[in-house]
Structure 1
Amino acid sequence: MTDLTIDGFDYHRISGEGGIELNVTVGGSGDPVVLLHGFPQTHLMWRHVARRLSERHLVIVPDLRGYGASDKPEEASPETYSKRTMAHDIVSVVRGIGHDRFSLIGHDRGALVGVRAALDHPETVSHLGILDVLPTMDTWDVLHGVDAAVAWHLYLMAQPKGLPERMIEAVADDFFGTFLDAWDTDGTTFPPDVRSHYVASSSRAVPSIVADYRATASIDLEMDRTDRKAGAQLAMPVGVISQDWGSQLGFDALALWQQWAPAATYQPIDAGHFMAEEKPEEVAAFIQDLLERPPA
């Protein structure tokens, strides 16, 4: 695997939940902002945005547990890769750096971790930014008919432990490369060394990545349903930026997110799924605008 880093940032091993160590890079100074990556990527996806934000903020960019150079514990139970556990990781990491309150921006999988962190630790997360994902409950509800084929991997990795891991490991490079290529709008978002880094990193983490997705079809869904029934909501400033999936699947992204955060704002972007690398200036501006909103 190509050893790629974010220029000008320092790298650390910092303990998360239960002593699991995360690979974390830190740069800049000021109010802390945490950036969480998506699938099938690592912290490196934030390289362009992180450098821009570090001019005004302390930017903390971890690899999620099970991804990149972070620890990949065996899936001992559904809790191992629940978003609650992964959120605890992030809170522990930031406290280890010396901060008890921070802004949290997540893309894809990282956004789901961010939402759970904001629900479980509302006193800790001051601002929440969500890039190109739907709430867990709604993701499953809007997928139906042949249009659901766009998310075929969700169903594969939701299956019981064993077969999905073996199937993906047999063609891991092709499996992960398929998403990088299919979701890259014009095919120029990833330099060859970055694409190789993502494919190699993910191919070495098949069991933990599958466990992350399996949790979203089980324990994460149960937690969200419990919170929705209890009327849990996000009071901190919440901003959502995404491509226009609704035209294909027939949903209103803002309306779905406002069930969790009534004051959430929404910004469409003319970009593909990997928008932080395709349009870093626009994504950094979206984040900066969100961070300038007064916290609750």
Structure 2
Amino acid sequence: MNFDYQRVPVADRVSLNVAVAGSGSPIVLLHGFPQTHLMWRHVAADLAADHTVLVPDLRGYGDSDKPEDTGETYSKRTMAADIVALAKAFGHEQFALAGHDRGALVAFRAGLDHPDHVTHLAIFDVLPTLDMWDVLHGASAAVAFHLYLMAQPPGLPEQLISAAPDAFFGYFLDQWGADAEAIPASVRARYLEACRNAIPSIVADYRASAGIDVEHDQADRDAGNRLAMPVTVLQQDWGVALGYDAVALWRAWAPACVHETVATGHFMAEQAPAVVTKTLRELLLR
């Protein structure tokens, strides 16, 4: 399947790089850290056989624009609005949405903020921001050291990461993957290059998750807002190590969600694309 690449304006002075293929009901696939839209290469090709598939780089990542952070620039609310605007640009008022890692946080926010647009929601290997901070504690929180580093005020995180970007971003590609062959050297090189060129915006994305994103999640929790569309969550079983009940946390936000744990590494769309594709196809039938 050949994908067509376009740059699509989604906000003032912000355009997203997006790969597009297929025809049929639309689905948007959002990548995670430290990756780009390329992480979906296997899954997207399969889905494009009978769906219109939109696979963007998030703002601040890959070949999408990287505006200077002004406080809300990289909030998940802002990034979710990008995705709704992207779908509308292709004529889709309603669409299914799947996200991995950082992209899953954007997808989660899109589901809460734009329920009339998101028909189905798939979340891969993440917890909502508010719950993530709640469950991290003690020595076990060391696995998330990068969250604390990039939560710091502008300056030091960017300087430290810029001193050894390939070592920093490559660490996560190595530590979070169960199968080194799932990310070929050519793809790994593209991920690292993309990250080297996006350090301020990547840090800003994470910094938002320690500030404004928490405020937005807390407001929704206080208001009792929930995800009413069909939701599927696929995760590794980190709950045992960190001491939380993932199913209970997710069902507090999506009472009817389907939740499954899988024996893959974090990069499941590359390590187990058949599992991810099957999960998405089953979700789209609900």
Q: Quick check: TM above 0.5?
A: yes
Equivalent in 59, 64, 70 of residue 70 of structure 1: 64
- 2:176 is matched with 183
One-letter identity of the residue aligned with 2:15: E
Give the Å deviation of 1:187: 2.0
- 1:205 is matched with 198
One-letter identity of the residue aligned with 1:118: G
- 1:8 is matched with 2
1:156-195 → structure 2 map (5 Å cutoff): 156-195=149-188
Establish whether residue 36 from structure 1 lines up as the match of residue 30 from structure 2.
yes
> 2: distance between equivalents of 1:170 and 1:63?
25
Establish whether residue 220 from structure 1 lines up as the match of residue 210 from structure 2.
no
Structure 2: 5+ residue runs without aligned partners?
Answer: none
Establish whether residue 97 from structure 1 lines up as the match of residue 90 from structure 2.
yes
Structure 1: 5+ residue runs without aligned partners?
Answer: 1-6
Establish whether residue 230 from structure 1 lines up as the match of residue 223 from structure 2.
yes
Q: Is the 8 A contact 1:107 1:130 kept in 2?
A: yes
TM-score by length of 2: 0.99
SS of aligned partner of 1:181: helix
> 1: distance between equivalents of 2:39 and 2:80?
19
Equivalent in 57, 60, 66 of residue 51 of structure 2: 57
Greater Cα offset, 101-110 or 246-255: 246-255
Give the Å deviation of 1:269: 1.1
Give the Å deviation of 1:84: 0.6
SS of aligned partner of 2:180: coil
Q: Is the 8 A contact 2:94 2:118 kept in 1?
A: yes
* RMSD after superposition: 0.7
Equivalent in 245, 253, 275 of residue 252 of structure 1: 245
Establish whether residue 83 from structure 1 lines up as the match of residue 76 from structure 2.
yes
> 2: distance between equivalents of 1:34 and 1:244?
26
- 2:20 is matched with 26
> 2: distance between equivalents of 1:143 and 1:249?
7
How many corresponding residue pairs? Answer: 286
**Percent identity of the aligned residues?**
60
> 1: distance between equivalents of 2:116 and 2:101?
23
Q: Is the 8 A contact 1:14 1:22 kept in 2?
A: yes
TM-score by length of 1: 0.95
> 2: distance between equivalents of 1:68 and 1:255?
34
> 2: distance between equivalents of 1:286 and 1:180?
23
> 2: distance between equivalents of 1:19 and 1:254?
39
Give the Å deviation of 1:145: 0.8
Give the Å deviation of 1:270: 1.2
Q: Is the 8 A contact 2:99 2:122 kept in 1?
A: yes
SS of aligned partner of 1:228: helix
- What CA deviation, in whole Å up to 9, does each residue of 1:114-169 have, x standing for no partner? 01111111000000000000011110111111110100000000000111001101
Q: Is the 8 A contact 1:35 1:59 kept in 2?
A: yes
- 2:142 is matched with 149
- 2:131 is matched with 138
